[in-house]
A and B are shown apart, each in its own frame.
Chain A
């Protein structure tokens, strides 16, 4: 069980780092230098980011093993945040 906790942390660190490096690779190969917002890039970047934040909260901050109240509160924040960002992005 102890070894599995450590490997679990390492596994999710690997996932988070891989996502970050893939974003870098896409960023450096995305040679479109036009100065217009691209909803696909903008919102997929935010969606991937909030998945990363949720992994940090659930796995690294150990909310996975916390009372469900804390799980609901942290998830509610993420949902409200992505809704507010999306409204700001699309309404203007």
Chain B
């Protein structure tokens, strides 16, 4: 509570002096991001342990994934992350029309990512690799499924950003930055999942 009070105090001071360091978005969003980051870290460490316990089986199944899908999806999410960062920048500068365009471009990136992910799943299922095929594929479907769930929640965050941008009376830069922060988290979690599932040996 003391921290909250200090944060509020900090915020009002930073509004007076724009040169002062400021939290991007709401402090609560950063708490969520760090909790998510630590939860996923625990999954990733457990994955590494199981991989090292049985590397041959994991690597044999890993070879069934298409690295191209992973790379393409990574580039899509990195680009959508750039796009929402540009949206925040233009919103801060008052270029609302440009900000809206970048927000929609980010949504398009997320949709493309989701479509490609579902197609990739259908390819793997078509080859006979399902959730219960082996340990590697259990982790593969669990990680990518959990991540896609976060992409879907990310669409809600982007919807909030869009709603904030189109309502001049409602526009709150802090909420816009919070939505963007969530989307960047979706991006960096995927970057780690990509490395673990597709690249790590």
Contact = CB atoms under 8 A, between A and B. Distances in A.
A6 B95 CA distance: 13
Given A38-B201, A65-B21, A49 B55 contact: no
B24 A61 contact: yes
Given A6-B89, A35-B60, A42-B200, A56 B34 contact: no
Interface residues of A, number: 50
Interface stretch (B124-132, B146-154, B163-171, B186-194): B186-194
Given A33-B63, A57-B188, A13 B199 contact: no
Contacts of A56: 81, 184, 187-188, 191
A11 to B, nearest CB: 10
A92 B49 contact: yes
A92 B191 contact: no
Contacts of B201: 36-38, 41-42, 45
A85 B45 contact: yes
B78 A46 contact: no
Contacts, number: 133
Main secondary structure of the interface of B (DSSP, over half): helix
Interface string A45-63: 1101110110011011111
Contacts of B200: 41-42, 45-46
Interface stretch (B66-74, B110-118, B137-145): B66-74
A73 B10 CA distance: 18
B123 interface: no
A19 to B, nearest CB: 10
Nearest to A78: B37
Contacts of B45: 84-85, 88
Contacts of A84: 41, 45
A5 B191 contact: no
Contact of B82 (A21, A60, A68, A77): A60
Contact of A9 (B22, B86, B194): B86
B53 A20 contact: no
Contact of B75 (A20, A49, A57): A20
Nearest to B40: A81
Contacts of B44: 81, 85
Given A6-B89, A45-B199, A89 B192 contact: no
A85 B81 CA distance: 26
Interface string B169-201: 000000001001100100110011011101111
B26 interface: no
Contacts of A80: 41
A11 B49 CA distance: 36
B41 A49 contact: no
**Sorted from nearest, which 4 A-B pairs have the closest CB atoms?**
A92-B52, A49-B195, A88-B48, A13-B82
